Structure 1
């Protein structure tokens, strides 16, 4: 949508948008995420090209105001979380994090997030997607009524790009530079900012995040906006591009690409089912037989053979397959400077070959490509 949304939920607790707008101008456009959470697509005063350069060769910073944070504490905190996901949360050490998919009884995606163990009996959970607690949280608490679960007043931001670690280090007190440089993936560091605030810094697979009280995240944004030579604020348009080009893993978002209609094994998330995890946990029976589970659809990449093909939009219908009828839809779309053309993620039925083609309603034909979407090669151009 092009106008400022009238009603936002948990949009910007760190006041990042207003702080960024003071230097770069008002947002050019907004996008609506899940759960009526809106965020900025891009800003008037910082080009897509500059944002793309930051996330590929520098430090691009994304506000995370739409996230939902939970604190889970008590002797059975890990047991409560283990009831909600097929991943073994109890194996995390203090300071260790993990990407977690919370599942439904059918073995599909309820929501997703990052779990960080902050103490022997305590966890922080950062939930994306629709910015809400896992649906069956209260049922899990009923099994362990002594566990305390509450929403935490935390905000965050995420830095991506090759200079992300030194960019984060510049916000911290000097003594944390070396521990941050040595921080492993999916590890958290309890640190102090250079203005004295206590924060968690969490390194993920492709980014580094700061989790802190909203007033401290606000001060971090003040510092970053004042240093445009180091930090570039980024919006959801460039995030879509970054996700489509990502080679480290298939970078899906909930509820765009994965949701309650997508079985874990259909969408390539079988790796989040921990080996030898014992029941009960949500979706256990549905996740025991991967060969029989799901089987209705899969996520694929789409790439036009011509660089002149127009960019697509989320939700556009696709045609083809065995019946040559309606066969799927676009879940994510964006422009790839790497490939000099548009790219998409799409839901497709299993009868569409991995190297097949689909077409849009305007007759444009696109190739189905593997995930992660590989860079375009010589010979992929249209004759």
Structure 2
């Protein structure tokens, strides 16, 4: 099947504050994220991948909206909203903060930044989180204000990302640890810079306040600073995120999956025992104690290249078989140029989740052999 449908540009879908600035670089394909147009690629995904690995890339990620929580009860409310324990979260610190519903299913997987004592940003690509937060605030009776703030990020990702950031700001950024942030003023614009990103290489996000006013200015400022370092505008490089074991909501997790199925190797799952209660806590404790029936594991897949994930080569999940019976599915897969093999994530029964177990995966090329392996496939390269 060789589909090449266009995506309609019209008023019903929202547009990132960077829509026109990022569009000037020649977007070849958009997808829809958070009810917004999201540049997915500008050219050959493999060339974009190598630019990330060797140089530096600039991404329009304005579809990541900031669900901002403020007010006297902002900390208590934010802690109730996420399964992460925020008791040790300092101002300027962040966390990968899963949001779960009462039965433990995952609603969203934002990055949370504490930008002030009682000001929290949940940076989310899922539109459901905003209305969920509105509802939770209403029914909790807590003294908080919930809004979608006029704050939009861009990502600077790649081997030379730090060089660009030093040129934009100053040497103080060299000391920034992962999941920490710092406020800067950049040519009259107020920004918060965090050491975060959707890749397994060095990367930063620049959160622009007053984004509707200053988006074009920020974009051109960052792009100009990146030119001496070989910066290229790309979409999110999914090959790198798959190599790094980074999951994508609505692909690898959703409302019908829980953290113990998809993130079973994360040590902070123990935070469900925190003293403060959060939505889904009782269910997650029960799931942990009972054990799960399936897990999202890493797999290496034989055969020809399965593509780069964002090139139209994987419109549906790949069925997973064992002994002639369909037992699960591959949710994300790609060919890794650095590893020179096909890799992906497979949701399989627990008794098929041990490393070195052999499975069969039905790719677009036919039935191929797959081997369960440890993830991430490549550790953090920053």
Bin the TM-score by the shorter chain: 0.7 to 0.9
Match of 2:232 in 1: 232
Question: Are positions 1:257 and 2:252 aligned together?
Answer: yes
| 2: CA distance, partners of 1:112 / 1:353 | 23
Distance 1:148 1:136, change over 3 A: closer
Q: How far is 1:180 from its partner?
A: 1.0
Aligned counterpart for 2:242 among listed residues 219, 241, 244:
244
Asked if the contact 1:109–1:258 (Cα under 8 Å) also holds between the matched residues in 2, the reply is: yes
Match of 2:81 in 1: 84
Asked if the contact 2:107–2:128 (Cα under 8 Å) also holds between the matched residues in 1, the reply is: no
Question: Are positions 1:3 and 2:6 aligned together?
Answer: yes
Match of 1:63 in 2: 60
Match of 1:335 in 2: 335
Distance 1:210 1:53, change over 3 A: same
Q: How far is 1:62 from its partner?
A: 1.6
Asked if the contact 2:112–2:122 (Cα under 8 Å) also holds between the matched residues in 1, the reply is: yes
TM-score, normalised on structure 2? 0.84
Match of 1:380 in 2: none
Match of 1:184 in 2: 177
| 1: CA distance, partners of 2:252 / 2:306 | 21
After superposition, the C-alpha distances for 1:152-192 in whole angstroms (9 at most, x for unaligned) are 011111122122122123223xxxx1221111221110101
Match of 2:164 in 1: 167
After superposition, the C-alpha distances for 1:88-137 in whole angstroms (9 at most, x for unaligned) are 22421111111100011111211011221122222122112446426255
Match of 1:313 in 2: 314
Considering fraction of residues, name the structure with more helix.
Answer: 2
Structure 1, unaligned runs of 5 or more: 376-383
Structure 2, unaligned runs of 5 or more: 308-312
Where do residues 88-99 of structure 1 align in structure 2 (5 Å cutoff)? 88-99=85-96
Q: How far is 1:2 from its partner?
A: 4.1
| 2: CA distance, partners of 1:27 / 1:202 | 26
| 2: CA distance, partners of 1:154 / 1:265 | 32
Distance 1:366 1:160, change over 3 A: farther
Distance 1:275 1:284, change over 3 A: closer
Q: How far is 1:254 from its partner?
A: 1.0
Asked if the contact 1:300–1:370 (Cα under 8 Å) also holds between the matched residues in 2, the reply is: yes
Structure 1 range deviating more: 129-138 or 52-61: 129-138
Aligned to 2:168, the other structure's residue is in SS state coil
Aligned to 2:132, the other structure's residue is in SS state coil
TM-score, normalised on structure 1? 0.83
Aligned to 1:117, the other structure's residue is in SS state strand
| 2: CA distance, partners of 1:360 / 1:171 | 47
Q: How far is 1:275 from its partner?
A: 5.9
Aligned to 2:81, the other structure's residue is in SS state coil
RMSD over aligned Cα, in angstroms?
2.6
Aligned to 1:301, the other structure's residue is in SS state strand
Match of 1:379 in 2: none
Q: How far is 1:223 from its partner?
A: 2.7
Aligned to 1:133, the other structure's residue is in SS state helix
